[in-house]
């Protein structure tokens, strides 16, 4: 309870504080400071500098050819300041918050070292050289992918970890094996301590030597929170053995957490910290409260995993928004081999430093174990529904769930002695009722944590940079209109898929492509590629394309058709007057005319009209030229239906050549949303277009300024919010 109270107080104390750059973003700066850390990345060497006047470390990206200075030396550098960016979409990784937790203020790129002075920190520099030597040994004895995995597992260096392997481990719930944590410390630390004791070395000296080596190992690996926690608990256990006292795992865990949070309270919002300590809480508190048939019966191999999952499930719903359903089985297949993997990995690294041939012999065993891991992951990815898209949980949902978990654990008659004594004197029915209450509490907590109540209609304009990406959600269907960008790479991986996961969308009933330009389909291609690799990915049921003449279909149009056919996604072609069957919405296509022939993709952009009671929205893609003229002609035939549009998605990212005055006078939009990139080369939205919208009385929102823009409505009332407030 003391830990919980301290945690809440620390979080409340630190959250109002906002860190600011001491120099302007993009400015050329000169800094002097001590070398506090360094690492080799794929494209550059990185040095972490502690500079006077800076609250956190500075991340220096050295220019090619610059000699990396030793730990502890004072260096003078010059380069360009780069601020870390906040997320602009729900579910997107927030690099500014992440590095703030790690106490890294900002980056300086293209760094040139102007001067180096002072003496080196021999201890840290020696550890760094040992680490780089072991990495070189692994790289000589193994292939590139195996070496990258083992560098992450043994040395905490993920810079050479293959992205596909990392993503596969993450999707299948075994990503924790590449973090230096309790498993590593148990194998290495306690193995060393027991070996020294068997060599008849005095208990105190065995403990002292083991603690020094494990602390040095943690420093060498970067001392992550999981490593710090594991080493701290190792030290507590060894010292308890030395002084002849009983070791209490939960007390050691709580003291370790308090020390970390005093030094950096923001770790309370770090998923790695929460999951690391959550695992210990699950084993220490929740596991004893599980029913005996699970702890002692044939299913006991699942009991520890169940306890850890019950504690860490809110972390999944608050940070990752998905849960790997298959992880319980895969961990049973993987974890028993981790001891062998670590031992033979270390043998490879050290033997390779002496005799490369001997190291390669050990590397063969490592390769077979890692191949087994990947085989398990590939098998898991072939199972439909292996990933549960649970969506994000609100803070109140997490609070209620934790309260229910508290009831489940601490009102256990076998754990709380006064409760046990009191229940012994009561009738058997009352004792059974008390047990049922516990299970009812945890069941209710799970439902409350995972339930997602959707509004009749939610429309989100995702910030995709220079492009379009619009998600429509109803209680019975989800639609994506476009999904592409020319300013953001890997849009699907970093913006589109994380947003859909955040919303708990594991299935898109339809993807509607307005036209084939890159800034409207690049993320859709990524969605399809992900589907081809992993059956647990977000599934697309239908692809809806504009109904145009064959000679008007370009390379991207045909590429998307081919992807859909290979994935057995139903393909439909939509033209003016066609409707999409949706239980909640009226969805009608206003353009293009079926069979339209044009050399300009923007002209044939699909225009969708969506209506829910009195709420009317118009999504115009990039429609322009003959497409816009045709659209105006069609609207004139039924002005009463199309006037006073509630929401207009402005065509072509706010280009001056679309959405003319005549068109605006016809539809009179109340709200105009423009999807465009920050400081884009096209100067979107154009000032002439903004003036036309202002004259028409429209409230204007742009993703460049507001981030993701969300509109919720029940058809009568409407709320609009932006992610970057």
What are 16-60's pLDDT values in tens digits? Answer: 444 445 667 788 999 999 999 999 888 889 999 999 988 889 999
Contact indicator for 5, 257 with CB cutoff of 8 Å: no
* Spatial separation of the C-alpha atoms in residues 679 and 681, rounded to whole Å: 7
Contact indicator for 700, 450 with CB cutoff of 8 Å: no
Q: Tell me: do 379 and 402 sit in the same domain.
A: no
* Omega prior to 468 cis, within 30 of 0: no
Tokens representing 670? 């109340």
Residues in the chain: 725
DSSP state at residue 68: P
Torsion of CA 702, 468, 485, 510, to 10 degrees: 150
Beta bridge partners of 79: 29
Q: Tell me: do 408 and 502 sit in the same domain.
A: no
User: 711: which residues sit within 8 A by CB, 6+ positions away?
Assistant: 458, 459, 460, 647, 671, 718, 719, 720
Rounded to 5°, angle at Cα 324 from 323 and 330: 150
Beta bridge partners of 35: 49
Contact indicator for 628, 596 with CB cutoff of 8 Å: no
* Spatial separation of the C-alpha atoms in residues 387 and 380, rounded to whole Å: 9
> CATH code at 19?
2.40.50.140
Q: Tell me: do 383 and 409 sit in the same domain.
A: no
Contact indicator for 392, 504 with CB cutoff of 8 Å: yes
Contact indicator for 661, 692 with CB cutoff of 8 Å: yes
Q: Tell me: do 403 and 466 sit in the same domain.
A: no
Domains held by the chain: number: 4
Q: Tell me: do 99 and 212 sit in the same domain.
A: no
Q: Tell me: do 618 and 486 sit in the same domain.
A: yes
* Spatial separation of the C-alpha atoms in residues 720 and 461, rounded to whole Å: 11
Q: Tell me: do 110 and 138 sit in the same domain.
A: no
- Closest Cα to residue 529, out of 500, 472, 569? 569
From 450, 478, 494, the end of a domain falls on 450
CA 422 to mean position of chain CA atoms? 47
Q: Is residue 77 helix, strand or coil?
A: strand
Angle between helix 144-155 and 163-171 (nearest 10): 60
Predicted local distance difference test score (pLDDT) of residue 17:
45
Predicted local distance difference test score (pLDDT) of residue 9:
47
Q: Is the dihedral of CA 670, 676, 680, 682 positive or negative?
A: negative
Predicted local distance difference test score (pLDDT) of residue 13:
47
From 68, 97, 120, the end of a domain falls on 120
Angstrom CA distances, 517 to 174, 461, 522, 607, 652, stand at 38, 18, 9, 15, 11
Q: Tell me: do 516 and 472 sit in the same domain.
A: yes
User: 252: which residues sit within 8 A by CB, 6+ positions away?
Assistant: 232, 233, 236, 237
Q: Tell me: do 407 and 474 sit in the same domain.
A: no
Q: Tell me: do 244 and 176 sit in the same domain.
A: yes
- Closest Cα to residue 530, out of 354, 389, 709, 629? 389
Predicted local distance difference test score (pLDDT) of residue 721:
96
Contact indicator for 146, 370 with CB cutoff of 8 Å: yes
Predicted local distance difference test score (pLDDT) of residue 584:
81
Q: Tell me: do 231 and 354 sit in the same domain.
A: yes
From 120, 147, 177, the end of a domain falls on 120
Q: Tell me: do 496 and 517 sit in the same domain.
A: yes
Predicted local distance difference test score (pLDDT) of residue 389:
96
Tokens 């003959």 sit on residue: 626
Q: Could you tell me the residue range of the domain that residue 116 belongs to?
A: 2-120
Work out the end-to-end distance of the chain between its first and last CA atoms, rounded to an integer number of angstroms: 35
Predicted local distance difference test score (pLDDT) of residue 703:
97
Point out the residues of the chain with pLDDT beneath 50: 1-2, 5-6, 8-20
Question: Hey, which bits of 51-145 come out as E strands?
Answer: 57-62, 74-82, 104-117
* Spatial separation of the C-alpha atoms in residues 433 and 410, rounded to whole Å: 16
Tokens 């999944």 sit on residue: 316
> CATH code at 608?
3.60.15.10
* Spatial separation of the C-alpha atoms in residues 364 and 344, rounded to whole Å: 9
């Amino acid at each position: 309870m003391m830990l919980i109270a301290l945690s809440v107080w620390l979080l409340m104390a630190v959250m109002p504080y906002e860190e600011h750059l001491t120099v302007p973003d993009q400015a050329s700066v000169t800094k002097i400071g001590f070398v506090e850390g360094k690492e080799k990345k794929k494209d550059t060497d990185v040095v972490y500098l502690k500079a006077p006047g800076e609250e956190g470390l500075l991340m220096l990206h050295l220019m090619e050819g610059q000699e990396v200075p030793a730990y502890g030396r004072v260096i003078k550098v010059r380069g360009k300041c780069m601020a870390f960016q906040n997320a602009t979409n729900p579910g997107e990784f927030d690099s500014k918050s992440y590095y703030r937790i790690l106490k890294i203020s900002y980056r300086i790129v293209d760094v040139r070292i102007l001067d180096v002075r002072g003496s080196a920190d021999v201890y840290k520099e020696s550890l760094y050289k040992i680490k780089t030597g072991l990495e070189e040994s692994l790289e000589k004895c193994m292939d590139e992918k195996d070496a990258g995995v083992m560098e992450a597992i043994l040395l905490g260096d993920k810079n050479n970890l293959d992205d596909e392997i990392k993503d596969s481990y993450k999707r299948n719930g075994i990503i924790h094996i590449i973090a230096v944590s309790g498993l590593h410390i148990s194998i290495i630390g306690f193995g060393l301590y027991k070996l020294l004791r068997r060599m008849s070395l005095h208990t105190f000296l065995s403990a002292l030597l083991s603690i020094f080596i494990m602390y040095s190992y943690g420093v060498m690996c970067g001392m992550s929170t999981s490593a710090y926690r594991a080493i701290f608990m190792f030290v507590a256990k060894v010292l308890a053995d030395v002084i002849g006292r009983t070791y209490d795992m939960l007390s050691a865990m709580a003291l370790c957490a308090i020390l970390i949070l005093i030094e950096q309270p923001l770790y309370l919002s770090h998923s790695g910290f929460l999951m690391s300590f959550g695992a210990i809480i699950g084993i220490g508190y929740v596991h004893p409260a599980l029913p005996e048939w699970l702890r002692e019966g044939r299913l006991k191999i699942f009991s520890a995993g169940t306890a850890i999952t019950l504690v860490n499930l809110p972390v999944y719903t608050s940070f990752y928004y998905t849960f790997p359903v298959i992880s319980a089985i895969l961990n049973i297949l993987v974890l028993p081999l981790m001891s062998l993997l670590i031992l033979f990995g270390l043998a490879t690294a050290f033997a390779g430093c002496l005799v490369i041939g001997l190291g390669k012999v050990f590397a063969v065993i490592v390769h077979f174990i890692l191949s087994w891991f990947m085989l398990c992951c590939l098998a898991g990815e072939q199972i439909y529904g292996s990933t549960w898209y649970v969506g994000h949980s609100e803070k109140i949902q997490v609070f209620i769930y934790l309260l229910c978990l508290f009831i489940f654990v601490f009102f256990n008659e076998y754990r709380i002695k006064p409760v046990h004594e009191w229940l012994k004197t009561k009738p058997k029915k009352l004792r059974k009722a008390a047990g049922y209450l516990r299970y009812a509490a945890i069941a209710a907590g799970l439902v409350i944590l995972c339930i997602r109540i959707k509004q009749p209609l939610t429309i989100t304009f995702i910030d995709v940079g220079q492009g379009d990406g619009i998600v429509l959600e109803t209680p019975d269907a989800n639609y994506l209109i476009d999904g592409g960008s020319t300013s953001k790479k890997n849009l699907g991986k970093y913006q589109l898929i994380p947003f859909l996961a955040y919303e708990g969308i594991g299935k898109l009933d339809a993807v509607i492509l307005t036209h084939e330009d890159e800034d409207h389909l690049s993320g859709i291609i990524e969605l399809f590629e992900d589907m081809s690799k992993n059956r647990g990915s977000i599934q697309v049921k239908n692809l809806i394309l504009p109904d145009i003449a064959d000679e008007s279909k370009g390379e991207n149009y045909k590429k998307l058709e081919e992807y859909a056919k290979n994935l057995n996604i139903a393909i439909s072609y939509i033209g003016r007057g066609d409707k999409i069957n949706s239980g909640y919405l009226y969805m009608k296509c206003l353009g293009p005319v079926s069979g339209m022939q044009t050399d300009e993709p923007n002209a044939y952009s699909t225009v969708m009209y969506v209506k829910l009671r009195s709420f009317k929205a118009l999504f115009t893609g990039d429609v322009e030229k003959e497409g816009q003229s045709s659209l105006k002609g069609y609207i004139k035939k039924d002005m009463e239906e199309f006037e006073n549009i509630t929401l207009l998605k402005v065509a072509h990212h706010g280009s001056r050549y679309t959405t003319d005055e005549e068109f605006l006078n016809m539809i009179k939009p109340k709200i105009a949303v423009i999807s465009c990139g920050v400081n884009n080369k096209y100067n979107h939205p154009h000032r002439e277009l903004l003036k036309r919208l202002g004259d028409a009385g429209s409230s204007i929102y742009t993703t460049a300024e507001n981030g993701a823009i969300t509109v919720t409505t029940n058809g009568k009332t409407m709320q609009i919010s932006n992610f970057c407030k």
